[in-house]
DNA sequence: AGCTCTTTTGGTAACGTTCCCGACAACGAT
DNA sequence: ATCGTTGTCGGGAACGTTACCAAAAGAGCT
């Protein structure tokens, strides 16, 4: 039950492999009758060209690679759906890998993808990644690359991001306008690009409304499961904020749960707003205000950018960054 | 900036390709000095063997393929994490594909995977898949295969599933014991294996407690976004159930939202329990009772099974089905 | 000296495909 | 009749790697 090859067809029809090859590609220099013969035989025997042999010869694969930290994260799975939507329409397969927030895994994934000659790579950096030499390397090799959401300023590449500053600014300003003064910000590791942008938005809103920035109200959380809980507990005991603004899907949930576990009323005692793509936000108790990133559209845009550079509709040298607006959904949790 | 090959090394060191190849594989029949020379040069030039060439030659790839309907579904992303955990430890890459509940996409993904010579395939069937000839085909070709969660009785293969019957039975019985009599069951398309099993569990619980089975209380929902909402609205108007038991992640959420949108109190007017792996169940309003599938463990078990057959620690012919217990988490929504 | 036996290396085919080059008719034009 | 042209086809190399079969040289033996 081995797969049939071009050689098998050639032998069966008493032709040469080159003739068969050309017949299958519908070359003009093949006799229509021969062509028909070959095509019919191929159809009958369920012939499929061996993509590996093709990749070896042509150094391409009609597939693009996607590396995200964690598909269980709503933002990323939605972004992937955006990516698949355009890739599929344009005839590309999408190969999905997770870095699990590990730089080593990320490097290994990159290795695997370029080794297998994907035509391009879409990546959102792991929370551990500071050194981006692996990206620089594939870029030097000429592999088209687009970084989305979690980008890095250590490398010049095509990028697609949400307007994190705007989202954070709006969220914070909303909390201020609803009368809150001690607004805590629970956020991701400080080296992430998104972390910085959101922090800036947060600061800018404070400044605009004359509220002094208090370092003790900002807490960076790693990816350990219990970390956010601890941080929130401590925060509620010591700084006693009257509002909490969290970055990231994961932190929003963990923090939300922690505040409730402490028996603190939302929004009466503490207002809450999260930077998250949770689809159940409106079903929570109380319904959670969110800053939503246009995940699907980010994925779509990034994939379009990548495919355009792959197909040379877009020059590789002129890198650019596309910023997509975020959306604020106000619900009960923030008044 | 092209990748370096064995030929390049051979030329540079004035050796034959076969010698270089053997030196790199640390063959015993190579002079230690030559070996050292080659290894050092390879290290220096950052040589990596071309996996495509290897696959072409050896018909394998040290990668396994996973096909799931939708990674945005918690159950599947958790299962994938289980799969990756064992695959990574055993030196395999995991290539993830989504069928988006489309049989055609599923077939295309299968094609791509076997074409690219993955060493085995893990799959959970799309909601549309009735004809499993594509699976039969790859099984005939000798590609190791494990089906998990959404299995099919039209093909004999290694399978890993949750104990859907038990979960549904327990959920239904719990609703009965808490005094409910008109228990609706909102479930997935009837052709899915999980649908049938859960329905059987539901029926069995009814029967045990002498409640007649009412066909009108069972509703099958497709994958359209608004479908569950419509079904719930109609159900609440006509049959007026005093409890709802839903299958699947998606249906639990959509139904839950629909009931709330109708202004019906949970659990006072209608008790609610869902078959779901939602991580936020305890944060909902009211906290949602759930039957939880051991997603991670299902993935882990399936991957182990697959890798064992790949590495011939397990015979291909003796197929078996592993069933893993579900867990019931009772919360406010069901009293 | 002639023989076999190791040790170490090289050459080549093969995996499946495409592409370049050339071969060989048949044909019309000079 | 000779010459280019056109239409069809086959042969071979190449992509990067490994496996098999030789081959050469030296060592040790009778």
Are B300 and B288 in the same domain?
Answer: no
Same domain, B127 and B202: no
Let me know if residue A197 belongs to a domain. Answer: yes
Question: Does B116 fall in a domain?
Answer: yes
- Report whether pLDDT(B167) > 90: yes
Decide: CB of A12 under 7 A of nucleic strand D: no
Q: Is residue A1 part of a domain?
A: no
In this structure, what CATH number is given to the domain that contains residue A113? 3.40.50.2300
Nearest CB to B98 within list A84, A111, A115: A84
Helical (H) or strand (E) element with B328: strand B327-329
Chain B interface includes A261 (CB < 8 A): no
| CA/C1' separation A104–C12 (Å) | 40
Q: How far apart are CA B328 and CA B175, in angstroms?
A: 12
Does B261 touch chain A if contact means CB atoms closer than 8 Å? no
Nearest residue: Cα versus C1' of D10:
A16
The Cβ of residue A38 has, within 10 Å, a number of other Cβ atoms equal to: 24
Cβ of A230 under 8 Å from any chain B Cβ?
no
In angstroms, the Cα distances linking A228 to A198, A220, A268, B38, B278 are 18, 9, 21, 50, 19
pLDDT at residue A302 is higher than 80? yes
Q: Are strands A93-98 and A321-324 parallel, antiparallel or unpaired?
A: unpaired
Do B174 and B141 reside in the same domain of the chain? Answer: no
Assigned domain for B147 exists: yes
Look up the protein residue whose alpha carbon has the minimum distance to the C1' of C16.
A53
Instruction: Please tell me the distance from the alpha carbon of residue B12 to that of residue A44, in angstroms, as a whole number.
Output: 48
Q: Are residues A80 and A120 in the same domain?
A: yes
- Judged by a CB distance cut-off of 8 A, whether residue B260 touches chain A is yes
Cα distance between residue A266 and residue A260, in whole Å: 8
Interface check B324 vs A, CB under 8 A: no
Distance CA B314, CA B297 (A): 19
Q: Quick one: B278 and B220 in the same domain?
A: yes
Provide the domain count of chain A: 3
What is the token pair recorded at B59? Answer: 């018909």
Does the residue A278 lie in any domain?
A: yes
- What strands lie across the sheet with B243-246, from one edge to the other? B218-220, B183-187, B243-246, B271-275, B289-292, B327-329
Please state the rounded mean pLDDT for residues A30-51. Answer: 95
Q: How far is the CA of A57 from the C1' of D9 (A)?
A: 23
Residue A31 (CA) to nucleotide C30 (C1'), in angstroms, measures: 29
* B285 closest CB neighbour out of A84, A100, A283: A283
**Contact residues on chain B for A71, CB-CB shorter than 8 A:** 71, 77, 80, 96
Q: Which of A136, A129, A269, A111 is nearest to A189 (CA)?
A: A129
Long-range contacts of A32-41 (CB under 8 A, 24+ apart): A37/A13, A38/A9, A38/A13, A41/A9, A41/A12, A41/A13
Is A76 in the same domain as A146? yes
What average pLDDT does this structure show over A27-35? 92
Strand C nucleotides below 7 A of a protein CB? 7-20
Contact B282 A257 (CB under 8 A): yes
What's the pLDDT at B97?
Answer: 96
A284, A300: one domain: no
Question: A196 with A228, same domain?
Answer: yes
Q: How many angstroms separate the first and last alpha carbons of chain A? A: 66
Mean of the per-residue pLDDT values of chain A: 94
Same domain, B207 and B279: yes
On the question of pLDDT at A134 being above 80, the answer is: yes
DSSP secondary structure string, B87-124?
HHHTT-EEEEEE-TT-HHHHHHHHHHHHHTT-SEEEE-
pLDDT in tens, B69-103: 999 999 999 999 999 999 999 999 999 999 999 99
Q: Determine the pLDDT at residue A317.
A: 67
Burial of A102 (0-12, 13-18, 19+ CB in 10 A): middle
Two tokens at A229? Answer: 């809980």
Q: Is the pLDDT of residue A316 over 80?
A: no
Q: A129 in a domain, yes or no?
A: yes
Structural domain boundaries, residue B16: 6-49
Q: Which of A95, A100, A280 sits opposite B284 (nearest CB)?
A: A280
Contacts of B227 (CB under 8 A, 6+ apart): B221, B254
For the four alpha carbons of B299, B301, B304 and B306, in that order, the dihedral sign comes to negative
Give the phi and the psi of residue B30 in degrees, each rounded to 5. Answer: -115, 135
Answer yes or no: do B303 and B288 share one domain. no
Residue B1's pLDDT is: 58
Task: Please name the residue of chain A whose CA is at the shortest distance from the CA of residue B111.
Answer: A48
Which nucleotide lies nearest residue B20, CA to C1'? C9
Q: Which bases of strand D have any atom within 7 Å of the beta carbon of a protein residue?
A: 7-20
pLDDT tier at B319 (50, 70, 90 boundaries)? confident
The reply to whether B1 falls in a domain is no
Do both B127 and B182 map to the same domain? no
Last residue of a domain, one of A14, A30, A49: A49
Nearest DNA or RNA nucleotide to A33 (CA to C1'): D8
Q: What does the alpha-carbon distance between residue B280 and residue B48 come to, in Å, rounded to a whole number?
A: 44
Chain A positions touching B77 (Cβ under 8 A) are 71-72, 77
* The pLDDT of residue B163: 97
Split at pLDDT 50, 70, 90, the class of A29 is confident
pLDDT of residue B27: 86
d(CA B335, CA B330): 8
Beta strands in chain A (DSSP E): 63-68, 93-98, 120-123, 145-148, 158-162, 183-187, 218-220, 243-246, 271-275, 289-292, 321-324, 327-329
Helix or strand holding residue B162 (H, E): strand B158-162
Is residue A100 less than 8 Å (CB to CB) from chain B? yes
Task: Quote the CA–CA distance of A124 and A146 in Å, as a whole number.
Answer: 9
Rounded mean pLDDT of A227-233?
A: 94
Q: What is the 3-state secondary structure (H, E, C) of B248-269?
A: CHHHHHHHHHHHHHCCCCCCCC
Distance B87 CA to C28 C1' (A): 68
Q: What is the mean pLDDT of residues A5-13?
A: 96
At residue A160, the 3 state secondary structure works out as strand
Strand-strand pairing, A158-162 and A321-324: parallel
SS3 B317: coil
Residue A54 domain-assigned (yes or no): no
The minimal CB distance from A77 to the residues B72, B142, B283 is found for: B72
Q: Protein B21 CA to nucleic acid D20 C1', in Å?
A: 14
Q: Is A285's CB within 8 Å of B280's CB?
A: no
Q: What is the distance in angstroms measured between the alpha-carbon CA of A92 and the sugar C1' of C17?
A: 20
Q: Pick from A102, A141, A100: which is nearest to A118 by CA?
A: A141
Q: What sign results for the dihedral spanned by CA atoms B289, B291, B295, B297?
A: positive
Contact between A52 and B117 using a beta-carbon 8 Å cutoff: yes
Averaged pLDDT, B139-165: 95
DSSP B150: S
A16 touches strand D (CB under 7 A): yes
Neighbouring residues of B28: CB distance < 8 A, sequence distance ≥ 6: none
Residues A242 and A175: their CA atoms lie apart, in Å, by 9
CA–C1' gap, B314 and D29, in angstroms: 50
Beta-carbon separation of A71 and B77 below 8 A:
yes
How many CB atoms lie under 10 A from the CB of residue B149? 25
On whether both A278 and A233 belong to a single domain, the answer is yes
Of the pLDDT bands very low, low, confident and very high (cuts 50, 70, 90), residue B318 is: confident
- Chain B residues with beta carbon closer than 8 angstroms to that of A110: none
User: Average pLDDT in the B53-67 region?
Assistant: 95
């Amino acid at each position: 039950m081995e797969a049939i090859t071009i050689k098998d067809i050639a032998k069966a029809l008493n032709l040469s492999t080159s003739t068969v090859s050309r017949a299958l590609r519908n070359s003009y220099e093949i006799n229509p009758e021969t062509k028909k013969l070959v095509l019919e035989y191929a159809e009958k025997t369920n012939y499929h060209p061996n993509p590996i042999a093709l990749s070896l010869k042509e150094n391409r694969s009609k597939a693009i690679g996607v590396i995200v930290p964690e598909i269980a994260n709503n933002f990323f799975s939605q972004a992937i759906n955006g990516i698949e939507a355009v890739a599929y329409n344009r005839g590309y397969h999408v190969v999905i890998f997770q870095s699990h927030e590990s730089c080593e895994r990320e490097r290994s994934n990159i290795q695997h993808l370029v080794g297998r000659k994907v035509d391009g790579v879409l990546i959102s950096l792991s929370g551990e990644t500071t050194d981006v030499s692996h990206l620089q390397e594939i870029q030097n090799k000429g592999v088209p690359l687009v970084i989305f959401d979690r980008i890095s300023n250590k490398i010049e590449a095509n990028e697609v991001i949400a307007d994190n500053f705007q989202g954070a600014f709006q969220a914070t300003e909303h909390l201020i306008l609803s009368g809150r003064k001690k607004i805590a910000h629970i956020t991701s590791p400080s080296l992430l690009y998104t972390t910085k942008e959101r922090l800036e938005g947060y600061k800018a809103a404070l400044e605009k409304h004359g509220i002094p920035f208090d370092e003790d109200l900002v807490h960076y959380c790693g990816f350990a499961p219990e970390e956010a809980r601890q941080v929130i507990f401590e925060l509620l005991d010591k700084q006693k904020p009257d509002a909490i603004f969290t970055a990231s899907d994961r932190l929003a949930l963990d923090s939300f749960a922690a505040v409730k576990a402490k028996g603190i009323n939302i929004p009466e005692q503490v207002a809450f707003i999260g930077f998250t793509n949770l689809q159940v936000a409106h079903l929570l108790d109380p319904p959670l205000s969110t800053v939503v990133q246009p995940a699907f559209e980010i994925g779509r845009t990034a994939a379009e950018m990548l495919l355009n550079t792959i197909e040379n509709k877009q020059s590789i040298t002129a890198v650019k960054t596309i910023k997509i607006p975020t959306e604020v959904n106000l619900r009960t949790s923030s008044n």
